[in-house]
Amino acid sequence: MNTYFISIILFILFLTEINIAYSQGCSLVPPTGNCTSGCTSTLTNGANVNGGQVYCYTGTGILNNINLNGGTIRVCGNLTINNLNINSGVILITTSGTLTIAQNKFFNGNVKLINYGIVNFLGNLTLQNSNNYIYNANIYNQTGQLKLNSSTSYFINTFNHTAAINNLFINSGRLCLEDNSILIINNLTNNQNNTASFNSLGNACVRITGIANINATAFSDDPEIGICLANGVSVLGGGGWGAVSVYNNCNSCSAPLPIELINFSVNQFNGEVVLEWSTASELNNDYFTIERSNDSKKWKELSRIQGTGSSSFINKYLYKDSDLKEDGGYYYRLKQTDFDGKEELLATRYVNYILNKVEVFLYPNPTNNIITIEANKKELEDIKIYNFLGEDVTNKIERISTKDNIEVIDLSNLISGLYTVKTKTTANKVYKK
């Protein structure tokens, strides 16, 4: 197999690995069904729903002593279940269905609650052991406590839908939020990092009305998630929100927010930490505040950057921190203040700063023919290019221009494939189309 095809395979595997990492956990494809076909029995009192069986309910009423042992329950009517024993299996609420569960329950592994209708959980629910899912595609209400207790337990709130949970307690597991989804929580306790993830384009909202016990370093690393803290909410625990946007005294998830943040990036470059952010819209925005911390608890204000006031256009901002004297991990957070003095925390980022770090930037990658390399002059003094087999092909390239700390190179004479570009002290991969 020649170098070209080997390189293509490696590049495809690289992209596949990224896609798997991105979709892992929150990518459940839920089962569907109705009560007019595929039902093996009608759900009645004392039913034992075993593997391969589908029990359906279409009426209105109350059933008792149901055992789910690997089969499927489909709810197409208005059903209340007392004494539901859930070992494994699927509970599917169709678009015409309403399910009310009155007692405290456990999902003991390999349980999927798929809701296209309405779910009312009146007691406490604990997801423990492996592979438990709650997939909400309409309205989910939990008046008791929902506890996620295993790393493969997931609560998925889908596009444009709302879930309300009185007490959400997360030791291990994942909240998966899609575009325009709303999660309303009275009291939240979070004990793990990056609990919440966003799987779409747009934004999702988590509204908290009571107490937030945030005990982990970061609730989420997805800036598309907004945290809407109602007036009077107590935030305890000493942890952090992470990259999410936090709005204090927030009336509802549908209320207009003062800042629609597109991105906030923090990177080291040429001995400085460069902060860049952009907004899609601003409402009565007086200024931004940049703060830095080495422990995410004690913060130092670095600068205030003038805002745009009110704008519906994209605005870009830049700040450089050149005052770092030693290696270490640093947190940076972006805050916003309205003209009336109301302050909001927009996002927090972390960077591992290395003093006197050699930095090389190579772009575009992949490339058709031309690449640009940015680094200090000393780093660009000796550039070598090797193909996939480790052969030196530097004599086949053309150095178009060298200016200050920028080198432009033409790869037109090289075949498509994966190459290594070596500078004085670094090696960087580039893929030529």
More confident residue, 96 or 36: 96
18-32, 132-146, 247-261, 269-283, range with the lowest pLDDT: 18-32
Name, of 196-200, 275-279, 294-298, 326-330, the range with top average pLDDT.
275-279
CA 260 to chain centre: 17
Domain 261-353 has CATH 1.20.1250.20: no
The mean-pLDDT minimum among 26-35, 90-99, 162-171, 358-367 falls in 26-35
Query: Residue 53 — very low, low, confident or very high, per pLDDT cuts 50/70/90?
Result: very high
Backbone φ and ψ for 179, nearest 5 degrees, come out as: -55, 130
Mean pLDDT taken over the chain: 86
Q: How confident is the model at residue 201 (pLDDT cuts 50, 70, 90)?
A: low
Least trusted range by pLDDT, from 207-211, 312-316, 374-378, 429-433:
374-378
pLDDT, position 25? 60
Long-range contacts of 123-130 (CB under 8 A, 24+ apart): 127/153, 127/173, 128/153
Q: Which tens digits make up the pLDDT trace of 360-408? A: 888 998 999 999 998 877 788 888 999 888 889 999 999 888 877 889 9
pLDDT at 255: 61
Please give the pLDDT value at position 304. Answer: 95
Q: Where are the alpha helices (DSSP H) in 207-364?
A: none
Task: Give me the pLDDT at residue 15, please.
Answer: 35
* 113 pLDDT above the threshold of 80: yes
| CATH topology (fold) of 361-432 | Immunoglobulin-like (2.60.40)
pLDDT exceeds cutoff 70 at 20: no
199-221 mean pLDDT:
86
Q: Do domains 261-353 and 361-432 have the same CATH topology?
A: yes
pLDDT of residue 5: 43
Q: How far apart are the first and last CA of the chain?
A: 18
- Report whether pLDDT(21) > 50: no
- pLDDT for 323 beyond 80: yes
The mean pLDDT value for 66-86 works out to 95
What burial letters (b/e) apply to 291-328, b meaning 16+ CB within 10 Å? bbbeebeebeebeebebeeeeeeebebebebeebeeee
Of 340 and 318, the one with more pLDDT = 318
Model confidence at 307, pLDDT cuts 50, 70, 90, reads very high
Confidence of residue 19 (pLDDT cuts 50, 70, 90): very low
The pLDDT value given to residue 284: 86
User: In the prediction, which pLDDT does 310 show?
Assistant: 85
Query: Partners of 421 in the beta sheet?
Result: 385, 428
> What are φ and ψ of residue 242, in 5° steps?
85, -135
Query: Pick the residue with more confidence: 304 or 361?
Result: 304
pLDDT of residue 67: 96
Domains of the chain, by residue range, sit at 54-255, 261-353, 361-432
- Give the predicted TM-score (pTM) of the model: 0.61
Q: How far apart are CA 35 and CA 76, in angstroms?
A: 6
pLDDT band with cut points at 50, 70 and 90 for residue 298:
confident
Distance CA 361, CA 421 (A): 11
Task: Choose between 249 and 98: higher pLDDT.
Answer: 98
Question: With 70 as the cut, is the pLDDT of residue 24 above it?
Answer: no
For residue 355, which amino acid is it?
A: L
Q: Quick one: pLDDT band at residue 16, thresholds 50, 70, 90? A: very low
With bands split at pLDDT 50, 70 and 90, how would you rate the model's confidence at 9? very low
